[in-house]
Amino acid sequence: MKTITKYKHEIMWWMSRLTIMLTSLFLSFTLASSAYAADAGIQMGANGNLIFEPNEVTVSVGDTVTFTNGDLPPHNVVFLEHDELSHSDLAFMSGEQFPVTFTEAGNYEFQCEPHAGAGMKGVIHVE
């Protein structure tokens, strides 16, 4: 009888440990996703149109804007007068991402080279 009681205590101990571990795991995911949400995302070729969606965003210095390849590839992102931020390599796969981090305030105009003529352009304001 005594051994069963001891066993129960051990199970309870492990279950409380498991609960704590799962809770902290859940919290770290929640915090990570909310930190990501503070930055911005732009889709390339959104909904089968040759556009950036949105084509104008405002972010803070230090923020990262992630370009995600959507429909009608290939697309790229070329910033006017900012080669260091550009991703001139074409993205062919839907879901491919180009993260771009802005360390200086300013207005950054960009375009998709194959589709600039179709109006696939945008601007990012960094404050």
Closest to Cu ion by CB, 42 vs 63, is 42
What is the secondary structure of the chain as a DSSP string? Answer: -HHHHHHHHHHHHHHHHHHHHHHHHHHHHHHHHHHHHTSEEEEETGGGSSSEESSEEEE-TT-EEEEEE-SS--EEEEETT-GGG-EEEEE-STT-EEEEE--S-EEEEEE-GGGGGGT-EEEEEE-
**Whose CB is nearest to Cu ion?**
112
Residue 120 contacts Cu ion per CB under 5 A: yes
Residue 91 contacts Cu ion per CB under 5 A: no
Residues 44-83 that bind Cu ion (CB under 5 A): 75
Residue 121 contacts Cu ion per CB under 5 A: no
The count of chain residues that interact with Cu ion, using the rule CB under 5 A, is 4
